[in-house]
């Protein structure tokens, strides 16, 4: 085991330098005062709050091969030294001299083409010897061995380079351009366009804010890869010029970029995304997250990956244990906080703070302190860059000034309580590029938001309506508490609605499997807590349902942002109970929204929906009771095998329990039969008539469905009855065709909320006064008695 991490170095405040700029928006969106009381929420809303880093999980090993985390074979056998990459890299990069700052736009793409041809020839040649490749060669590249087939496949696809001209001005390395064209990203997204020059070519720190799904991962990922490839090429040129190979330095592989994300799933996704872009390069990307075996991760780190993506908990566990690759940070060139505000949000960022304190100190205008460095190359000793990204970052308007003065405030006990304090502590410089591309509403442009006002107890029915009438495309249903999630998933299963669940108390393997299965199902339904709110990038999510409102506007933004990603569209539906209405109004106020679309409900479906829900709830109750009864059965059996269990039931009580169980089983059977008969026929409006296709007061949606039905009936007279609504109209379409804009009385709601807060405060003060009075009285009586 390596030695403990070096002691924290004392930091100097950065001297003021550079232009002062102001960021005059992004006020905090929080509505913390509205945190619901436990009794506000039938599912005890706080149960799911502790989602950070996955909550309490057993560290069951996940199946590494399923997530591309397997170790190189040579390492599995005990860790052989990495073969020098320089030569191989040089072969691959032959003719790639026109790169980075030195290349011109046109030349960069020409190089890609030229290399493609060369590569084609080489791949053909290389194919045979591959089988006889020695183990050392295999160990060199975890990514490349798998990736070569991708590259080969890609090369067979003819890509019209002219389609990618929008990327030219970003002057990316030819190998990166190759990946971009393979991924068919025709042009950089605005945040990529803005961040890549600052991060990749000007070596600046960057704070980036842009809407969800806008490509922020590559906005920080491409600058990292660009700089690594650039440095490598320059180094190789130098070596060639000198005529001697100082390969020791480069081939040893220090940690160059440390990317921290708030959740494990996000870390794995970011790793995957970067690997896709790093195809064909030697750069290795490794995820370090909880839920995997620590030993295996340590072996993974023996491969000396240049980029590590991880969650704070596991990273700090390994760092504080002296894991050599993670504590040799003198060559670290990038420190990245993805979804940075989430790290602040949650009170448990002690580990993150400790990690930041391990980073070598940066003095403005100097290379970082490298007095303890052993072999860092001159190229690697450049300044470390700090990149901080999120869709919802709140910065004070004078943040840049504060950075210059070094006066960003931390809490009194030295805890980092803001993204600003965190950034400064990580070494952010005052000339950082602050790029805020969020619009006034912060929401993604292609997202249609809507709401349904309903009683708390009717939420299940409305959700069932959405899923069964409009069950098109993937849907994510967000709950605030795990209790609500469990209730919902059980109910939906009883109703034969196939759902997957994701929450922090699940084992890591199950969490990843749920995501994988959801990803693999075109009309899948995922019921999740806020552990899935941030960063998850699953294509084809058409609808997000907020079954319970989240505790902050930021979380609402991130949840909704699981749909309408990249250039796709999508819709969100918030189910609002009377108790949540003032919270919802605050939300509208946060986004300066004066009106909101009401999701159209075809009321004539509801009697049937409610009937099914009522049966399902009764069955659910019986099942719960039965599982309780099963526990006492278990206790009885435990006794028979001499297991000591607490059981004070008398014989009579036991007999009684068995009788009850039998009775409830019979009732269960009856209810299930009734439900099955309802479920066996399609859900249809009560007023539906197969003979008359018109009626007064029907909604545009129903009208549209009737017309569709009429068309189909005409087409094929023998055809069976068409199911209205099902498989017809997805939520976004229904919303667009018949959603009504409703103006929000944000002032009235704010007033109501203030009154409620005042009332609560007054009650609390009265209680305290009464308590004090009683205490004094007791004291006085006691003194009198003495």
Tokens 């009332």, residue located: 759
CB of 189 to ligand ATP, least distance (A): 5
Q: Which of residues 420-449 bind ligand ATP (CB under 6 A)?
A: none
DSSP element (H, E) containing 208: strand 206-209
Distance CA 308, CA 290 (A): 14
Burial class (CB in 10 A: 0-12, 13-18, 19+), 4: exposed
Choose one: 377-385, 559-567, 585-593, 760-768; the region binding ligand ATP (CB under 6 A): 559-567
CB of 38 to ligand ATP, least distance (A): 30
CB within 8 Å of 615: residues ≥ 6 apart: 671, 674, 675, 678
Among 208, 213, 291, 524, binds ligand ATP (CB under 6 A): 213
Q: Within 10 Å of residue 505's Cβ, how many Cβ atoms? A: 19
CB of 100 to ligand ATP, least distance (A): 20
- 379 or 389, CB closer to ligand ATP? 389
Choose one: 87-95, 208-216, 460-468, 481-489; the region binding ligand ATP (CB under 6 A): 208-216
Among 54, 215, 310, 360, binds ligand ATP (CB under 6 A): 215
Q: Is 174 in the site for ligand ATP (CB under 6 A)?
A: no
Strand extents, DSSP E, 462-599 = 474-478, 500-502, 525-528, 541-546, 570-576, 595-598
Among 312, 535, 685, 725, binds ligand ATP (CB under 6 A): 535
Choose one: 181-189, 317-325, 649-657, 774-782; the region binding ligand ATP (CB under 6 A): 181-189
Token pair for residue 345? Answer: 């949000």
Choose one: 129-137, 215-223, 491-499, 737-745; the region binding ligand ATP (CB under 6 A): 215-223
Choose one: 70-78, 118-126, 214-222, 517-525; the region binding ligand ATP (CB under 6 A): 214-222
Among 189, 263, 560, 738, binds ligand ATP (CB under 6 A): 189
Q: Is 185 in the site for ligand ATP (CB under 6 A)?
A: yes
Choose one: 120-128, 136-144, 212-220, 429-437; the region binding ligand ATP (CB under 6 A): 212-220
Q: In which order are the strands placed within the sheet that holds 433-436?
A: 285-288, 307-310, 257-260, 334-338, 385-390, 206-209, 433-436
Choose one: 184-192, 249-257, 618-626, 767-775; the region binding ligand ATP (CB under 6 A): 184-192
Burial class (CB in 10 A: 0-12, 13-18, 19+), 620: middle
- 45 or 258, CB closer to ligand ATP? 258
Choose one: 188-196, 351-359, 404-412, 668-676; the region binding ligand ATP (CB under 6 A): 188-196
CB of 338 to ligand ATP, least distance (A): 7
Nearest to 48 by CA among 40, 56, 59: 56
Nearest to 675 by CA among 758, 612, 610, 729: 612
Q: Is 216 in the site for ligand ATP (CB under 6 A)?
A: yes
Would strands 285-288 and 474-478 be described as parallel, antiparallel, or unpaired?
Answer: unpaired
- 85 or 212, CB closer to ligand ATP? 212
Report whether 335 contacts 385 (CB < 8 A): yes
Would strands 595-598 and 740-743 be described as parallel, antiparallel, or unpaired?
Answer: antiparallel
Q: Is 217 in the site for ligand ATP (CB under 6 A)?
A: yes
Backbone angles phi, psi at 453, to 5 degrees: -90, 125
- 232 or 558, CB closer to ligand ATP? 558
- 182 or 487, CB closer to ligand ATP? 182
- 265 or 298, CB closer to ligand ATP? 265
Nearest to 396 by CA among 431, 367, 434, 356: 434
Tokens 């070598």, residue located: 360
Tokens 């600052």, residue located: 198
Distances in whole angstroms, Cα of residue 69 to Cα of each of 95, 272, 332: 33, 10, 23
Radius of gyration of the chain (CA): 30
**How many binding residues for ligand ATP (CB under 6 A)?**
17
Would strands 474-478 and 541-546 be described as parallel, antiparallel, or unpaired?
Answer: parallel
Q: Coil, strand, or helix at residue 35?
A: coil
Q: Coil, strand, or helix at residue 651?
A: helix
Q: Which of residues 385-424 bind ligand ATP (CB under 6 A)?
A: 391
Residues in the chain: 786
- 269 or 468, CB closer to ligand ATP? 269
CB within 8 Å of 650: residues ≥ 6 apart: none
- 327 or 444, CB closer to ligand ATP? 444
Binding mask 660-679 for ligand ATP (x = CB under 6 A): --------------------
Among 214, 226, 590, 746, binds ligand ATP (CB under 6 A): 214
Distance CA 125, CA 117 (A): 13
Choose one: 41-49, 516-524, 558-566, 615-623; the region binding ligand ATP (CB under 6 A): 558-566
Choose one: 68-76, 155-163, 185-193, 222-230; the region binding ligand ATP (CB under 6 A): 185-193
Q: Which of residues 132-171 bind ligand ATP (CB under 6 A)?
A: none
Report whether 358 contacts 179 (CB < 8 A): no
- 172 or 728, CB closer to ligand ATP? 172
- 75 or 393, CB closer to ligand ATP? 393
Tokens 């509403």, residue located: 441
CB of 377 to ligand ATP, least distance (A): 31
Q: Is 262 in the site for ligand ATP (CB under 6 A)?
A: no
Nearest to 348 by CA among 321, 317, 389, 313: 313
CB of 554 to ligand ATP, least distance (A): 11
Among 188, 280, 290, 473, binds ligand ATP (CB under 6 A): 188
Q: Which of residues 561-580 bind ligand ATP (CB under 6 A)?
A: 561, 565-566
Q: Within 10 Å of residue 163's Cβ, how many Cβ atoms? A: 12
Q: Coil, strand, or helix at residue 415?
A: coil
Would strands 570-576 and 447-453 be described as parallel, antiparallel, or unpaired?
Answer: parallel
CB of 610 to ligand ATP, least distance (A): 36
Choose one: 186-194, 420-428, 672-680, 695-703; the region binding ligand ATP (CB under 6 A): 186-194
- 218 or 485, CB closer to ligand ATP? 218
Q: The dihedral of CA 355, 142, 281, 177: what is its sign?
A: negative
- 459 or 565, CB closer to ligand ATP? 565
Burial class (CB in 10 A: 0-12, 13-18, 19+), 682: middle
Among 218, 394, 467, 469, binds ligand ATP (CB under 6 A): 218
CB of 565 to ligand ATP, least distance (A): 5
Report whether 282 contacts 86 (CB < 8 A): no
Q: Is 379 in the site for ligand ATP (CB under 6 A)?
A: no
Distance CA 262, CA 334 (A): 17
Among 138, 230, 368, 537, binds ligand ATP (CB under 6 A): 537
Distance CA 263, CA 553 (A): 19
- 188 or 290, CB closer to ligand ATP? 188
- 214 or 618, CB closer to ligand ATP? 214
Site residues (vs ligand ATP, CB under 6 A): 185, 188-189, 192, 212-218, 391, 535, 537, 561, 565-566
């Amino acid at each position: 085991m390596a030695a403990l991490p070096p002691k924290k170095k004392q930091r100097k405040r950065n001297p003021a330098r550079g232009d002062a700029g102001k960021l005059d928006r992004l006020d905090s969106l929080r509505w913390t005062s509205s945190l619901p009381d436990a009794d506000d929420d039938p599912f005890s809303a706080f149960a799911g709050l502790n989602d950070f880093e996955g909550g309490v999980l057993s560290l069951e090993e996940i199946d590494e091969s399923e997530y591309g985390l397997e170790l190189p074979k040579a390492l599995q056998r005990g860790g052989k030294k990495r073969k020098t990459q320089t030569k191989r890299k040089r072969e691959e990069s032959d003719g790639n001299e026109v790169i980075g700052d030195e290349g011109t736009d046109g030349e960069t793409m020409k190089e890609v083409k030229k290399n493609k041809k060369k590569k084609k020839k080489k791949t053909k040649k290389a194919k045979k010897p591959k089988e006889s490749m020695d183990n050392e060669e295999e160990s060199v590249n975890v990514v490349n061995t798998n990736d070569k087939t991708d590259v080969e496949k890609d090369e067979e696809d003819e890509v019209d380079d002219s389609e990618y001209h929008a990327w030219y001005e970003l002057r990316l390395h030819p190998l990166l351009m190759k990946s971009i064209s393979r991924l068919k990203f025709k042009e950089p997204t605005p945040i990529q366009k803005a961040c890549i020059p600052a991060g990749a070519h000007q070596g600046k720190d960057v704070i980036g804010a842009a809407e969800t799904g806008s490509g922020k991962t590559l906005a920080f990922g491409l600058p990292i890869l660009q700089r690594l490839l650039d440095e490598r090429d320059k180094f190789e040129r130098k070596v060639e010029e000198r005529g001697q190979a100082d390969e020791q330095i480069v081939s040893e592989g220090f940690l160059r970029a440390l990317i921290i994300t708030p959740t494990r799933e996000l870390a794995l996704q970011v790793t995957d995304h970067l690997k896709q872009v790093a195809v064909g390069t030697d750069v290795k990307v490794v995820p370090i997250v909880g839920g995997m075996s620590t030993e295996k991760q340590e072996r993974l780190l023996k491969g000396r990956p240049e980029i590590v993506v991880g969650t704070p908990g596991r990273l700090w566990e390994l760092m504080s244990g002296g894991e050599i690759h993670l504590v040799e940070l003198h060559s670290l060139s990038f420190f990245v906080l993805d979804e940075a505000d989430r790290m602040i949000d949650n009170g448990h960022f002690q580990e993150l703070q400790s990690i930041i304190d391990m980073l070598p100190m940066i003095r403005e205008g100097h290379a970082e302190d490298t007095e303890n460095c052993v072999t860092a190359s001159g190229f690697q000793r450049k300044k470390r860059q700090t990149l901080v990204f999120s869709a919802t970052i709140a910065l004070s308007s004078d943040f840049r000034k504060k950075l210059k003065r070094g006066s960003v405030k931390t809490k009194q006990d030295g805890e980092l309580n803001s993204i600003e304090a965190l950034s400064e502590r990580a070494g952010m410089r005052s000339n950082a590029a602050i790029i805020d591309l969020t619009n006034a509403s912060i929401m993604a442009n292609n997202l249609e938001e809507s709401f349904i006002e309903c009683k708390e107890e009717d939420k299940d029915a409305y959700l069932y309506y959405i899923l069964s009438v409009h069950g098109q495309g993937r849907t994510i249903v967000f709950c605030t508490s795990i209790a609500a999630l469990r209730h919902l998933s059980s109910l939906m299963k009883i109703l034969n609605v196939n759902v997957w669940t994701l929450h922090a108390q699940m084992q890591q393997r199950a969490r990843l499997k749920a995501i994988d299965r959801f990803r693999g199902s075109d009309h899948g339904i995922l019921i999740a807590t806020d552990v899935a709110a941030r960063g998850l990038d699953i294509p084809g999510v058409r609808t997000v349902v907020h079954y319970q409102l989240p505790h902050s506007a930021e979380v609402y933004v991130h949840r909704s942002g699981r749909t309408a990603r990249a250039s796709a569209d999508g819709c969100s539906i918030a189910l609002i109970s009377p108790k949540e209405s003032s919270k919802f109004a605050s939300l509208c106020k946060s986004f300066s929204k004066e009106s909101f679309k009401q999701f159209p409900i075809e009321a004539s479906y509801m009697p049937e929906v409610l009937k099914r829900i009522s049966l399902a709830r009764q069955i659910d109750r019986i099942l719960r009771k039965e599982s309780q009864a099963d526990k006492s059965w278990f206790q009885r059996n435990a006794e028979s095998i001499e297991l000591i269990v607490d059981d004070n039931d008398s014989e009579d009580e036991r007999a009684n329990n068995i009788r009850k169980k039998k009775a409830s089983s019979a009732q269960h059977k009856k209810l299930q039969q009734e439900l099955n008969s309802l479920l066996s026929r399609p859900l249809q409006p009560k007023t539906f008539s197969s003979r008359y296709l018109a009626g007064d007061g029907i909604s545009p949606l129903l009208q549209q469905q009737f017309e569709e039905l009429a068309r189909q009936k005409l087409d094929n007279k023998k055809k069976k009855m068409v199911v209205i609504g099902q498989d017809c109209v997805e939520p976004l379409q229904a919303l667009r065709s018949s959603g009504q804009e409703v103006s929000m009385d944000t002032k009235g709601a704010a007033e109501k909320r203030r009154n409620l807060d005042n009332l609560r405060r007054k009650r609390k003060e009265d209680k305290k006064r009464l308590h004090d009075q009683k205490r004094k009285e007791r004291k006085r009586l006691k003194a009198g008695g003495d």
